[in-house]
Structure 1
């Protein structure tokens, strides 16, 4: 078996995507899929040939089995997934839209993932990995998942494992905005590679422009800050380099959910391959662009052949 390169952890849910545009209460039929920021990243990396493991809990139910089956089919390592006999797998409903962002309703209270604790995953039994990818979602789901995430982060950082962090702010999961900002920034400042959206950066730092947001985190020890700017591409900043990298032209926006996870797939995969920061951001922009042109959270993520073809044929924003 090939060496594990990336470990990620979070909550996966069954996702029901409306077949027709309109309100969720009027929708009669849905397409079922898997949702979860970290599972999206795991699937995307696996499609690019990077052995990735996802660590979590699912319920002993059809949703949990569907998630396990999907990840296994995608080549994601599922050996660090526990089955919870008492608590169910969460699910969500997502509307179909002609433009803009879809409406998403979550049904995740007391889910199996929310019950994860350090007792489930002792630090000394964590799989060996080169890289850890985290988001701000597990710390928001429950106090026990927050504690586990923090312990895993610090344990692996001491072992010189590189860390990427996507804030992925979910205000409705937090008791208040101040707690969200404080906790998410604690994680963000531990990262080697930080991947916030511009609006997330504004909320977390209080600064309104990308240069100041990047400086805020660089001054706190982050090595690379990449700020996602939507159709304008992304802004990368390190101690010695600052540059805005244009995005790829999108012919039609179908579904914006998952674009940030696709971006993370591009950046992480490229950096693990030894590409430059700019090359990594270009790849992130490419996968993000492909993601928004497909329905579903990860369905548009490419394999390496598809990615190389898109990057050769794709048109950069002027």
Structure 2
């Protein structure tokens, strides 16, 4: 078996370069940007690696400066990079993000069509031969990128089930990436139904289930077959429920100043997944998720606020 054979967590997705505005105003008028890494699954991988977990990340990087920057990020963050290949002749996706003085959701523009990661398919699973992970984390972004990526996500979930790995799923809705709303809902709920943990935001849950209240959203996914559900409520915390009968509201963590809301949900996933892998109960895991999510919104980049083990308070 290879050095990468034993992982705590495996995830897969598209690594993006984030160009974050350093001045307020419309993106068309901004002259100064700062470079960060981004991508929901990469954010989660970085957060878990900082907490001391051995994390593998399956992706394709562009054959360009952005791809080389992201390869260096993987190395610097201690993520097992065996599964991140360079797609020859392809460009890496990137995004622009505005700076909002009042901490409201920023304006974001994506440039990812035809990117290296969108060219992944089930054949990329060959890079995982001989590798086992305790846990697989997926989001709804990967299956939205392309038909090949959708097949890859499905095969990854099936592989996790076959290997006895636990599976968490964050819907992370990107409606513009899907052909239509019906296909998005059908695909996302299909992944949720086979997951041990589902992590919808409240607005996402309402769209995906047609139900308004957090407890009703959780019950919808439990009835589909999910093992546990944690509904993210933003500043109001989270609602968690599982098949064993737990029903609990976890209060949010208040912050003095919100700098940037992007990445908070990924930080929340880092908290919940890491805590569950340590054997903590679901409500305690949600508490850690709230704490890390609150920390993330106080920093400008998606990953700047993700704590190390020494910085972890919960």
Q: Tell me if structure 2 keeps the 8 A contact 1:123–1:152.
A: no
The residue aligned with 1:14 is: 17
CA–CA separation in structure 2 for the residues paired with 1:72 and 1:124: 18
Give structure 1 stretches of 5+ with no counterpart. Answer: 312-318
For residues 271-310 of structure 1, the aligned pairs below 5 Å read 271-308=276-313
Return the TM-score normalized by structure 1: 0.95
- Once the two structures are superposed, what CA deviation does each residue of 1:60-102 show, in whole Å capped at 9, x if it has no partner? 1110110010111011111101110121111111101112101
Q: Tell me if structure 1 keeps the 8 A contact 2:56–2:80.
A: yes
The residue aligned with 1:132 is: 136
CA–CA separation in structure 2 for the residues paired with 1:53 and 1:125: 13
- Once the two structures are superposed, what CA deviation does each residue of 1:86-120 show, in whole Å capped at 9, x if it has no partner? 21111111101112101110000000011001123
CA–CA separation in structure 2 for the residues paired with 1:97 and 1:198: 23
The residue aligned with 1:316 is: none
Q: How many residues align?
A: 309
For residues 65-214 of structure 1, the aligned pairs below 5 Å read 65-99=68-102, 100-122=104-126, 125=129, 127-214=131-218
Verify: 1:58 aligned to 2:61, yes or no: yes
- Once the two structures are superposed, what CA deviation does each residue of 1:132-189 show, in whole Å capped at 9, x if it has no partner? 0000001100000000110110121122100000000001111111111011111111
Tell me how large the CA RMSD over aligned residues is: 1.2
- The SS at the match of 1:247 is coil
Q: Tell me if structure 1 keeps the 8 A contact 2:8–2:133.
A: yes
- Once the two structures are superposed, what CA deviation does each residue of 1:199-222 show, in whole Å capped at 9, x if it has no partner? 100011111111111111111211
Equivalent of 1:38, from 41, 47, 60? 41
Q: Tell me if structure 2 keeps the 8 A contact 1:123–1:155.
A: no
Extract structure 1 runs of 4+ deviating beyond 6 A. Answer: none
